[in-house]
Chain A
Amino acid sequence: MNSLTQYIDLYRQNADAINSHSALIMNEMRPAAASALEGKRLPEKGDEGFKVTSIEKMFEPDYGVNILRMNIPTEIGRSFKCDIPNVSTLLGVVVNDSFTPTSTMRQNLPTGVDVMPLSKACETYPDIVGKYYNKIAPANEPSVALNTMLAQEGLFIRIGRGVHLESPIQIVNIFNSPAPLMGVRRVLVVAEQDSKAAIFFCDHTQTADVKFLSSEIIEVAGEKASELDIYSIEETTPLTSRYSRLFANQENDAKIRVGTATLHCGVTRNDFTINLKGQHSEGYLSGLAIADGQMHVDNCSNVNHLAPHCDSNQLFKYLLDNNAQGAFEGGIYVDPKAPFTVGYQNNRNIVASPEARMHTEPQLLIYNDEVKCSHGTATGQLDANALFYMQARGIPYETARRMLMIAFMTDTLDTIKVEGIKSRLMMLVEKRLGGEQVLCNDCHADCHTNISTPRE
């Protein structure tokens, strides 16, 4: 008996209802996914790669799953406005696990670009969905199989061949429910040959006194010479847990930059697996976490060099205060078939209180001699000499601390190549370190202001 049992039972008892609110390609995958879960369990704290985070515990509470797709308050999405300075984005909203495009998105999506519910994509693009859905993620791993078994809806993004999308696609993930809920979030991104785009996810929780769990699988197909930027910002609540896993397959000359920023959360675990399958493909990962209170932020990276002449770089930085817990498990794997690999990894952390803890485990697995690889990690406190120097110039202690913390994050922010997203994140980081609770200009998510009265 473990946390998976309740979900397998849920599926067995409601298979027809689940299928009737989904699409054929997704339904066809469910029985195999359910079988794959039999007798398995989710990773527990202490397992290899899960030194401080128990996924089993995360999924243990009796969350509801919205099988009948009831009462999805899409009007929240319509009232939502997440401002990116000087950039008009193509905005779509995912409420719990259902996607709704805004009218701006509908009107401004250029030819060759699709952002639509996954169920619709199953009908419109059965070949593409069939080719990639549940094929990029390891289908038999329990967390993936669980998602596949229960996912009824999802988000499908296709950047057509040769299309260079100028405006970023922005997806706002919102949790809103009167009762505890698991959002089974599924995303399939297909960047066709020679295409280029940026996708930006913001995660929010509106009902702050309700427990939520985001079970998210993101599959990315980076076809030849495509270029993708995928960034995500999490600003949820202490009662929100998140297990988000991104898997990207990169073909020849494809380039991907993935960035994540955790500013507010309960327990968060993000996995990033980038498979550099094609020659001269590139993968860049960056992450920043600003954690205080009881926040728990765990990022795990696996960059797999599977072909010659591929480049990768990883930079993860954590700022931990109060009782926060941070973890970074980073991996670079270089296959025997991958000579001329360049792979770097760097993790730097500031632990600002005696109670905060950081666990870090950078790893290199190199099965090839023709490589340039390095990894490094350091965990420490703010530079006392720098603090005194700033104070001696009249800068108050708290301001000096904040300036040093922002400075510490600067190089992570510099990895963001989309100017508008970068300046927005910079603003959020500054506000976060300034102790402000409501983070975005014009943000209607109100993640932190409505503890007692859930928004309608």
Chain B
Amino acid sequence: MDNILLKVENLHAGIEGKEILKGINLTIRPGEVHAIMGPNGSGKSTLSSVLAGNPAFKVTEGSATFHGIDLLALAPEDRSHEGLFLSFQYPVEIPGVSMVNFMRAAVNAKRKYFGEEPLSAGDFLKLMRQKREVVELDNKLASRSVNEGFSGGEKKRNEIFQMAVLEPRLSILDETDSGLDIDALRIVSAGVNKLKTNENSTIVITHYQRLLDYIKPDFVHVLYKGRIVKTGGPELALELEEKGYDWIKQEIDNQ
């Protein structure tokens, strides 16, 4: 089992001088689904931001190796090309940039990275059409500005649509279930499951066990005070749903 997709070792990171991640260790192999849960403020979103390369966060210690590459040395766009995808908790609205231009720029930048010619207009539109179906995304959204005026559900579906287009090796879904109604949750989860293969992996960051009914994790980690303090199987999520975090907090704080 030496086939490792992502290996995070002793990762420390923070924002504006405040340390938030205090030594994260995490190993993800191809085909695995990892859920990361934890109370508010424990560092879940920071972990996803740091892995994706958000310049607002500074890494102070530790490493992250992504299929043999030093992930932290790459620009955010190159992390994307290498197969990392972050589904944003709050997808950003970009007035004036149409979805079509946005996706064309993304797709062609990746092709350029791998020395390929840009996709022809016809092939590009065909790709868009195919991938839209994964999350039942309305065609009319394509002509609109990125996320502008999208409903909460549309924004999250749009994230999974982009994931479908970019075919990442590792997807980080940062609270993809927040702001979703039951139908949208089902559609988004079904989309994620359709994209699942034995080769690619997923990190699901969530507060609620409910999402894990749809996207079944192999491992569940509990993040608390910037560290992964507990790791278990899917049953850990059920236990958390039932008992809350206090028992873990006590366990850790009393150590």
Contacts and interface: CB of A to CB of B under 8 A. Distances in A.
A388 B53 CA distance: 8
A384 interface: yes
B96 A410 contact: yes
Contacts of B97: 403-404, 407
A408 interface: yes
A391 B93 CA distance: 14
Interface in A374-427: 383-386, 388-397, 399-400, 403-404, 406-411
Contact of A394 (B54, B91, B106): B106
A389 B94 contact: yes
B109 interface: yes
A17 B93 CA distance: 63
Contacts of B85: 392
Interface stretch (B20-28, B76-84, B201-209): B76-84
A393 B102 contact: yes
| Interface size, A (range) | 20 to 34
A391 B53 contact: yes
Nearest to A396: B77
B40 interface: no
Contacts of A396: 75, 77, 109
B55 interface: yes
A408 B96 CA distance: 7
Contacts of A392: 52-54, 76-77, 79-80, 85-86, 88
Contact of B106 (A395, A407, A409): A395
A399 B96 contact: no
B92 interface: yes
A151 to B, nearest CB: 41
Interface string B52-87: 111110000000000000000001110111000110
Contacts of A406: 96
A411 B96 contact: yes
B193 interface: no
B119 interface: no
A374 B255 CA distance: 61
A389 B145 CA distance: 14
Contact of A393 (B54, B95, B106): B106
A391 B95 contact: no
A392 B106 CA distance: 9
A390 B110 contact: no
B166 interface: yes
B105 interface: yes
Contact of A388 (B55, B96, B166): B55
A403 to B, nearest CB: 5
A409 B96 CA distance: 8
Interface string B111-129: 0010000000000000000
A396 B52 CA distance: 14
A388 B106 contact: no
B101 interface: yes
A383 B145 CA distance: 15
B92 A386 contact: yes
A385 B77 contact: no
B102 A390 contact: yes
A386 B80 contact: no
Interface of A: 383-386, 388-397, 399-400, 403-404, 406-411
| Nearest 6 CB-CB pairings of A with B | A407-B96, A394-B80, A391-B76, A389-B92, A410-B96, A393-B106
